[in-house]
Structure formats: structure tokens, C-alpha cells
Amino acid sequence: MTPKIVVITGPTASGKTALGVALCRKLNGEVVSADSMQIYRRMDVGTAKPTPEEMQGVPHHMIDVADPAENYSVARYVEEAAACVEDILKRGKLPVIVGGTGLYIDSLLSGRTFAGGPVDPALRQELNERYDEIGGKGLLGELRKVDPERAAKLHEADKKRIVRALEVYILTGKTITRHDLETQAIPPRYDAAKLALDFSDRQDLYDRIDRRVDLMLELGLLDEVRALLESGVPADCTAMQAIGYKEAVGAVSGACTLEEAAEKIKMESRRYAKRQLTWLRRDGEIEWHRFDHTPDLNDALRHSTEFLRSHGIE
């Protein structure tokens, strides 16, 4: 039988952490984070990482599992998070996936594998140089000969994906299109009951985002960024390009004022929330709980408990 698990998702600042903890306390569960930034150590303030007080004794997994300078992939997340979920299930507890990174959640639930085979740095370098030599249109044409379906989805300026598609084909003899079709045929890894949080009025969500940014700055976001840079974390690494950190680097370096950085973080966070909602609305299996003005944890817990009971989880 496919194992049952719970997913609590939604846009940034929607109250996922509190509900996830409340459900775990009620249903003997443990949290598996699905946040692409909370995986990084020493990046606490800008990721709104839950504090020990907020965790309330509930074990949280997939937090602080990578160094900020690392290139952390979706494939690595799926491998490590799945191991956490399996361990929680073996101990007779309920895995509760909590987070707003839709790609991480969807990939974990589907049991998706990722096209690859061993990475060949020399081959990748050769393909990159060939792209530079004959141009995107030329290399895309070469991809079209072996994988016309993937080539049709790519723009000639998308160097990274064109190179990767050719690399996978050369290393494995299998196109990414074929790999994706085979992956889609795999039954879901888990029987997931998915609940998403939102607000009836979008402005209420945006106001919460703005207040959260103000709080991050009060809690020392700039000091956190200074410490990361002084420890040798490159300003241009993937983790430091995240919303909040990129803008804070600008303020620390003098490229912008603190006020300008704060407004940019708020704006980009609101845009990110909108993208998260767009992603989630594609999933017809999600049960939505919408708050009026301010989050009511008791009401959300009641709704989610009833919803989970209908899925045989109690």
C-alpha cells in the first residue's frame, strides 16, 4: 500500500510553519522541510527558518543540510528528503512535508528521477565551447536531430538546457524527452493529502510579507549577510542570489541604501508569492484554506484535521 503523508504548502508568509507544527503535535508527526533556502546552514534570518521555540519540540528534517557555497540540486533534495520520509514511516510516525518550494514537493511526491548519468566535465566544456563557436541556433539544430520534442521547447539563447540535453543524450543514449516520459509512468511514491494556505484578500498576504521583511531587518539580516561574506561565501553563489540576500549584499556593499534594499526585498517577495500561487493552482488535488485578514491557527487546524480524516489520516 502506498504510504500516506501530509503536505502543508502555500506562498511565503502564509503560516505554514505554525500549522505544520500543530498538526505534528496532534497526529504524532515530524516535519520534512520543502524550502529551497532553509537547507542552507547559517542562513537563518533571511530564510525565516523556524526557531527552536517555534518548532515546539517537533523534529524538523531537511533544514541546515548544506553549506551556502554548495550547488544544491532538486535531485539531491529528493534523495535526502525521501530518506527522511522513509525513516519517519518506519518509526510509525507521520511525515508532514512543510514548505513553499513547489518543484521540491512535486518531485518528492512523484518519485521523479532526474536525467543524467555520470557528469563528464570535459564533454560539458566541449559542448559549451561548441555553443560559443556555432551559436545557440546551430547547437539547438544539432539537438533537434536527436530530440526534436525537447528542441522545440527551448530557445536558442538557453545555453544551459541545450548543452545539458545533448550531454544527457551522448552519455546515456537516451533523450531527456524519453526520460521524462518514463518518469511520468512511474506511480506516485506517496499517497499525499495536500493542503495549501492563502488569504481571501491578496493584500493581506502582501502586508504580512512586508512586515516579515521589516522583522528580518530588525533581527539582523545585514549582519547575517556580512558574516557569510566574511566567512568566504561568494556573493555570486546560488544561495546568495536568493530574495533577501541579493538585496542585502547590495546594502552591505554600498550599492544601495538600506531603505532601497528593504523595498526591493518586499517587491520581489510579493512577486515570488504570486508565482508560488500560480504553481499551486495547477494542482487540482490541493485543499485550500484561506484566512480572513489574519491567520487563525485553530480554524486552520480544525479544517486540516477534518480534511486529513477524510483521507484516512487521524
**Cell numbers at 52, concatenated:** 527552536
CATH class of 121-184: mainly alpha
List all residues 6 or more positions away from 302 whose beta carbon is below 8 Å from its beta carbon.
none
Q: In whole angstroms, give the CA distance from residue 135 to residue 11.
A: 39
Q: Find where cell 537563518 sits.
A: 44
Q: What is the mean pLDDT of residues 108-136?
A: 79
Q: Find where cell 493581506 sits.
A: 204
CATH superfamily placement of domain 4-113+186-310: P-loop containing nucleotide triphosphate hydrolases (3.40.50.300)
pLDDT of residue 176: 84
Residues in a beta bridge with 287: 195
**pTM exceeds 0.75:** yes
Q: Find where cell 566535465 sits.
A: 121
pLDDT for 150-177, tens place per residue? Answer: 999 999 999 989 998 898 888 888 888 8
> Radius of gyration over alpha carbons of the chain, in Å?
21
Query: How is the chain split into domains, by residue range?
Result: 4-113+186-310, 121-184
Q: In whole angstroms, give the CA distance from residue 69 to residue 54.
A: 27
115 pLDDT higher than 60: no
117 pLDDT higher than 60: no
Q: In what order do the strands lie in the sheet with 287-291?
A: 60-61, 29-33, 94-98, 4-9, 191-199, 287-291
